[in-house]
Amino acid sequence: MDWSFLMTEDIDVMMIRLVMAAILGGLVGIEREYNHHPAGFRTHLLVSVGSCLMMLLAFYGFQDYIAANEGNVNFDPSRLAAYVVSGIGFLGAGTILVQGSSVKGLTTAASIWVVAGIGLTVGAGMYGPALIATLIVIISLFILAKVNFRISAEEKEEALMVKLDGEMGRLGDVISILDGLGINVSFVSSEKQQAYHEKSMVEYRLVVEYKQWSDIYEAMETIQQLDPVQSVSLDQ
């Protein structure tokens, strides 16, 4: 077997860039893994290494072909990079989950997208910008995630407890009522209750954000009128 391809003068550069892309992408993935997000350490590492590999392919993969057809080939390495950026959007879209008016997974999708950019940057040999970008991403995920930015200081947050008939109840109807009143649902959890009068009950805990008390009280009254709803209350 011919192993001469491993003896090229560029192999050291390629190996360094691939390893660095793996390290930088993995550093970003550690935070996602720690917080149990859909795309974690391995996903971010693979995205970074794959993006770096595509950029290396663009720079070094067609040198022999270009040399053999000198003067007849117009080659633009940025095309492969553009396809990587557009293609990574499909992977990021798989991490986004929509629940009523609440959208989750956007940060993970953005981190996958920026890790692809970091991998491409390392593949192009721009180590400084890649390191700075990785540092910014890690700071934003670890530190800024603990800072609560609110557009309106008047916005309130409460936990709404809704008990539904497990066979007839639909959480979507409850969320639709909240949406119609401008109340945002930021988190939902559920707990199945023991049978009560031969009915299986499900209790939902919805963390909601609203601006006026009148909105939450109106929502509670409207939700209570739904047939499958057994009770509505605020979690004190």
pTM of the model: 0.55
- The pair of structure tokens assigned to 130 is 């890649």
- What letter does residue 162 receive in the DSSP assignment? E
- Burial (Cβ within 10 Å: 0-12, 13-18, ≥19) of residue 31: buried
pLDDT at 5 over 60: no
Q: Which tens digit of pLDDT belongs to each residue from 88-135?
A: 877 777 766 655 445 567 778 888 889 999 999 998 889 999 999 999
Q: Which domains does the chain have, with CATH numbers?
A: 4-146 (no CATH), 156-234 (3.30.70.260)
Please compute, for residue 80, the number of CA atoms within 13 A of its CA located in the half-sphere on the CB side: 21
- The pair of structure tokens assigned to 193 is 């209750």
Judged by phi (left if over 0) then psi (alpha if -120 to 50, else beta), residue 68 lies in alpha
